[in-house]
Amino acid sequence: MKTNLLLKQGLLVTAALSMILASACSNGQESKPGTAETTKPVELTMMNLYLTPEPPKMDSEAMKLLQEYTNTKLNITWVPSASYSEKVTASIAVAGDLPKLLLVKDDRNPAIIEAARAGLFWELGPYLKDYPNLKTMDATRLTNTSIDGKVYSIFRWRPIARNGVIIRKDWLDNLGLQEPKTLNDLVNVLKAFTYNDPDKNGKNDTYGISFDSSSAQIFHLLAMMGAPNTWEYKDGKMSPDFMTAPYMDTMKLLQQMFKDKLFNSDFPVVKDRTVLVNQGKAGVYIGAYDDLNSRFTDLFKSNPNAKLDTVASLSGPGGMKVQGGTGYNSVFMIPKTSVKTEAELKQVLTYIDKLGDEKVQNLMTWGIEGKHYKVENGQAVRIDEKVFTDEVYNNLFQLSVFDGSKALPGKLDPSVDKYNKLIQNNEKLAVANPALPLLSKTYMEKGKQLDQVITDARTKFILGELDEKGFQQAVVNWQKLGGDQVMSEYKTEYEKTVKN
């Protein structure tokens, strides 16, 4: 039902845009090179998401400097991450109510793809070569964002594999435990965190790990268990991960963990797995390593003595493996309904390109000299990690596009230096998803419905409401509903565009 709604919205966009796009194309043809140049700040509307308890502060010193450096006046609508995708879909459905720069969290959403095909967004690929920073963007990541071989978006660079385990170091110390090295070690730690009173409050009120309704923590475990990353091309077939033996082994592990009460029983309805950690009720979080210093401020407010630490990737039955990602987190797209001429398009692209300039990358990476960092022997030295996180990182991170390689080299807080090295090491362990750049017509039409079949079956299996035979029946239902067609279409696309 949800997929059908998204597709209907895409079709509505197609119909509503016909006159607008004709006008936009006409105006675009009249533009002259260089018309994006201006002396006064360019007013730029944007919709973006935030993960912190409060939205970024537009009056912060860092935000003001960013606007000064990019010669813009930013008018940003900040939306909580949990409701962001729904907000984007609703905005696209009415088409005319879009900002000049739209962050899209789920760029493979059928409504987004149909809207791009319908002409709602500018095709950006032909313009990138004209901008000194944009023209250096990684080709593989651009391919991963492409729709029918065309680039309609600017990705926000992220490491290929940034997820890992974040753990309550003080709980390990309280129980005399060592940092886990293997998946078995981790399970034993989770049991100790659940049953051995790690916070020493005399109550049985903790969980080993916090789970939510997303699949991030499950995918991380799947990689360690030796499962493919979502899809696998093998022996001339494209197959989903849930048809493999390691997937079932992982579900059996999760079912046992659930029976042992190592994670919260309400996980199917929980939207944010940081909450239990912030409340001091869970000792392990699986997610982005760099969440360490940005998403657990509430924990430290309530318990200044709490200690979090990152753990190196663990070995499991599948070896030392992690799930490889897209290499980006969300994309920026430029709607033709709000950016109607090529001259306006160039203004928006100029802003994005300036985000890659050295002084902007220094600002985003280090903050303001003398306040957030000092320079010693040509290297930046962080003055106070918490102050930087509160005043710079939490205000500017969602606006970042480039990898920060132009920023000053420097000395980081030991915790940041550690997780940066872990993220770098993860790239060597990452298992790629071969279907990332591929599009399937059937998945476009039925993807949400198909995904829900497996998600529901997996959840019921973990809860003990479904046995292995019942799960296999759900897989058969998935195949009959359209899964077989998706497998066939992905196989054809893979062999046509990737294998060769």
Q: Is 129 helix (H, G, I), strand (E, B) or coil?
A: helix
Cα separation, 481 vs 473, in Å, equals 12
Domain 163-323 in CATH 3.40.50.970? The answer is no
Strand order in the sheet with 282-288: 207-209, 282-288, 163-168, 308-311
Domains 2-157+330-396 and 163-323 share a fold: yes
Nearest CA to 101 out of 134, 74, 65 is that of 74
Burial class (CB in 10 A: 0-12, 13-18, 19+), 126: exposed
pLDDT value for 261: 98
Cα separation, 3 vs 114, in Å, equals 12
Contact in structure between 174 and 306 (CB atoms under 8 Å): no
Please state, in angstroms and as integers, the Cα–Cα distance from residue 422 to each residue in 93, 172, 226, 401, following that order.
41, 20, 20, 21
CATH class of 2-157+330-396: alpha beta
Burial class (CB in 10 A: 0-12, 13-18, 19+), 179: middle
Residue indicated by tokens 């419905």: 449
Nearest CA to 296 out of 313, 273, 312 is that of 273
Cα separation, 422 vs 166, in Å, equals 12
Half-sphere exposure of 324 (CA within 13 A, CB side): 20
Contact in structure between 50 and 398 (CB atoms under 8 Å): yes
Is the entire prediction scored with pTM above 0.85? no
Predicted confidence pLDDT, tens digits, the chain (500 residues): 444 444 444 444 444 444 444 444 444 433 333 444 458 999 999 999 999 889 999 999 999 999 999 999 999 999 999 899 999 988 888 877 899 999 999 898 888 999 999 999 999 999 999 999 999 999 989 988 999 889 999 999 999 999 999 999 999 999 999 999 999 999 999 999 999 999 999 999 999 999 999 888 999 999 999 999 999 999 999 999 999 999 999 999 999 999 999 999 999 999 999 999 999 999 999 999 999 988 999 999 999 999 999 999 999 999 999 999 889 999 999 999 999 999 999 999 999 999 999 999 999 999 999 999 999 999 999 999 999 999 999 999 999 999 999 999 998 889 989 999 999 999 999 999 999 889 999 999 999 899 999 999 999 999 999 999 999 999 999 999 999 999 999 999 999 876 55
pLDDT value for 498: 66
pLDDT value for 29: 38
Burial class (CB in 10 A: 0-12, 13-18, 19+), 381: middle
pLDDT value for 135: 97
Contact in structure between 263 and 252 (CB atoms under 8 Å): no
Residues 6+ apart with CB under 8 A from 355: 70, 133, 361, 364, 399, 400, 401, 402
Contact in structure between 110 and 7 (CB atoms under 8 Å): yes
Strands (E), 41-182: 42-50, 72-80, 101-104, 153-157, 163-168
What are the structural domain ranges in the chain? Answer: 2-157+330-396, 163-323, 441-499
Q: Is 118 helix (H, G, I), strand (E, B) or coil?
A: helix
pLDDT value for 166: 98
Cα separation, 214 vs 327, in Å, equals 19
Strand order in the sheet with 42-50: 72-80, 42-50, 101-104, 328-333, 153-157
Cα separation, 87 vs 110, in Å, equals 15
